[in-house]
Amino acid sequence: MRLTAALALWATVAVIDSIIVAADMIARHTTNKKFNKRIIIATDAGSTVDTDLLDSVIQSLNDQEIRVQLL
């Protein structure tokens, strides 16, 4: 696999995976506490996003009252 292909593959899953990791960290560290929970993502939106898990990730974020902000 060429380096550019490997980077493109990584970028495809990186956004969703980073949201999942961030939501997990927020859930672990804010249990039973009142916070404004937000994930801020800075991206150039230059790669595609794998949408296989997107519905379940969105549902989980809504259930945990975590908001996502894209820059």
The two counts, helices (H) then strands (E), for the chain are 2, 2
Count: domains in the chain? 1
Burial 13-47 (b: 16+ CB within 10 A, else e): eebbeebeebbeebeeeeeeeeeebebeeeeeeeb
Helix (H) or strand (E) holding 38: strand 37-41
Residue 10 reports pLDDT greater than 70: no
pLDDT at 5: 55
Q: What is the pLDDT of residues 12-66, one digit of tens each?
A: 567 888 888 999 999 898 877 788 899 998 877 776 776 777 888 889 999 989 9
Domain region containing 50: 3-70
User: Could you tell me how many residues make up the chain?
Assistant: 71
Structure confidence at residue 1 as a pLDDT band (50, 70, 90):
very low
- Its pTM stands at 0.71
Residue 11 reports pLDDT greater than 80: no
